[in-house]
C-alpha cells in the first residue's frame, strides 16, 4: 500500500473555499477530483493544480441532483481509481430577512446545502465501504448553523445546522467502517459569496462595500476575516493521519467569533 495515492473529491471546487481546499489537498499529495456546477471553474482549479505539479481532474456536477452526484462519483472512480476523502463544500445562500424568505428560497437552499451534502456523503461512504480502506468525510457547515447572528438568512442557518447534526449521526454510524466524519464551521470568509452579501448589505444600508466588510469583521476577536486557505488548512488536517481519532466534531474557524 506504500504506492497508494489517495483520491480527494471536493465539491464547489471552482472558487473560494472549495478551490483553496482542492489546491491544498493536492499539495498534501492527494490526487483531486474538482467538482463544480460550472465546468469552466472546475477546470480552472484542476489546471492550477496541474501547473503546480499535482494531479487533478475536473468534473461538472449539480449536487442538488442525485443522478449528477452518482455520475460525479462514477467519473471520479473511473479517472482516479478510488475515493478516500470527500469535502462537501458546495453551498448557496442569499441575503434575506426572515420575513422575506419564500418557499422557493427554502427549497433552493436546502436542495444544495442539506440534501446535496447528505447524498454526496452517502455516495462517497458507499464507495469507501466497498474499498474497505476507511475514509474521511469533511462537511463544510458554518457558524450560522450554531446560531451566529450575522447569518445571511434563516434558511441558510437551518441548512447548516442540518449539516452539523448530520455530521454527528453519520460519524456514529460509519465508525464501524473506519470512516471519520467531521465538519468545519467557517466564520466570515473572503469568498465570492460573502463579497456579494457585503455588496447587497452595503446597498441596503447606504454605505460602501469596504465599510460593510469592516462592519462584518469588527466583532472578530482576532480582527481579521478568514481567507479561504484558513478553511483549507483545517480540511487538510482532518484528512491527515493526525486526525485519525477525531470524528463527529464541528470545528469553528472564525477568528473567535463564537465559542460553542
pLDDT in tens, 136-156: 999 999 999 999 998 999 999
Query: Looking at residue 207, what is its pLDDT?
Result: 78
What integer is the mean pLDDT of 156-179? 98
Taking domain 7-189+227-252, whether its CATH number is 1.10.150.120 is answered by: no
Residue that wins the pLDDT comparison between 85 and 194: 85
Q: Band of the pLDDT at 90, cuts 50, 70, 90?
A: very high
What DSSP character marks residue 188?
S
C-alpha–C-alpha distance, residues 158 and 96, integer Å: 14
Query: Looking at residue 223, what is its pLDDT?
Result: 86
Q: What percent of the chain has pLDDT over 70?
A: 96
Q: Show the CA angle centred on residue 169, arms to residues 187 and 122, nearest 5°.
A: 90
Dig out the grid coordinates for 178 from the structure: 473506519
Q: What are the backbone angles phi and psi of residue 60, rounded to the nearest 5°?
A: -90, 135
C-alpha–C-alpha distance, residues 23 and 30, integer Å: 10
Q: Which residues pair with 35 in a beta bridge?
A: 11, 59
Query: Looking at residue 192, what is its pLDDT?
Result: 76
What integer is the mean pLDDT of 145-171? 96
Q: What percent of the chain has pLDDT over 90?
A: 83
pLDDT at 159 over 80: yes
C-alpha–C-alpha distance, residues 148 and 65, integer Å: 29
Q: Residue 154, SS3?
A: helix
pLDDT at 173 over 50: yes
pLDDT in tens, 9-30: 999 999 999 999 999 999 999 9
Q: Which residues are catalytic?
A: 156
By C-alpha distance, which of 97, 188, 95, 180 is closest to 142?
A: 188
* Residue 32: its H or E element: strand 31-36
Cβ atoms of 6 and 215 within 8 Å: the answer is: no
Q: Where are the domains of the chain?
A: 7-189+227-252, 190-225
The DSSP code sequence of 12-31 is TTTSHHHHHHHHHHHHTT-E
Query: Looking at residue 1, what is its pLDDT?
Result: 46
Dig out the grid coordinates for 57 from the structure: 481532474
pLDDT in tens, 238-257: 999 999 999 999 999 999 99
Amino acid at each position: 500500500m506504500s504506492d497508494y495515492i489517495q483520491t480527494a473529491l471536493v465539491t464547489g471546487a471552482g472558487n473560494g473555499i472549495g478551490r483553496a481546499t482542492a489546491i491544498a489537498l493536492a499539495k498534501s499529495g492527494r490526487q483531486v477530483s474538482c467538482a463544480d456546477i460550472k465546468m469552466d471553474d472546475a477546470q480552472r482549479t484542476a489546471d492550477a493544480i496541474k501547473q503546480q505539479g499535482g494531479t487533478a481532474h475536473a468534473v461538472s456536477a449539480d449536487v442538488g441532483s442525485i443522478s449528477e452526484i452518482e455520475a460525479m462519483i462514477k467519473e471520479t472512480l473511473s479517472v482516479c481509481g478510488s475515493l478516500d476523502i470527500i469535502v462537501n463544500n458546495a453551498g448557496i445562500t442569499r441575503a434575506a430577512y426572515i420575513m422575506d424568505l419564500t418557499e422557493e428560497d427554502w427549497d433552493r437552499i436546502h436542495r444544495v446545502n442539506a440534501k446535496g451534502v447528505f447524498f454526496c456523503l452517502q455516495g462517497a461512504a458507499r464507495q469507501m465501504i466497498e474499498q474497505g480502506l476507511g475514509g474521511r468525510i469533511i462537511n463544510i457547515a458554518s457558524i450560522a448553523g450554531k446560531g451566529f447572528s450575522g447569518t445571511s438568512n434563516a434558511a441558510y442557518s437551518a441548512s447548516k445546522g442540518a449539516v452539523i447534526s448530520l455530521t454527528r449521526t453519520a460519524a456514529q454510524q460509519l465508525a464501524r467502517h473506519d470512516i471519520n466524519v467531521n465538519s468545519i464551521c467557517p466564520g466570515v470568509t473572503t469568498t465570492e459569496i460573502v463579497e456579494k452579501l457585503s455588496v447587497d448589505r452595503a446597498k441596503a444600508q447606504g454605505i460602501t462595500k469596504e465599510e460593510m466588510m469592516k462592519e462584518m469583521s469588527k466583532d472578530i476577536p482576532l480582527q481579521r476575516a478568514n481567507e479561504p486557505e484558513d478553511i483549507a488548512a483545517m480540511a487538510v488536517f482532518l484528512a491527515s493521519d493526525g486526525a485519525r481519532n477525531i470524528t463527529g466534531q464541528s470545528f469553528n474557524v472564525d477568528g473567535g467569533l463564537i465559542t460553542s
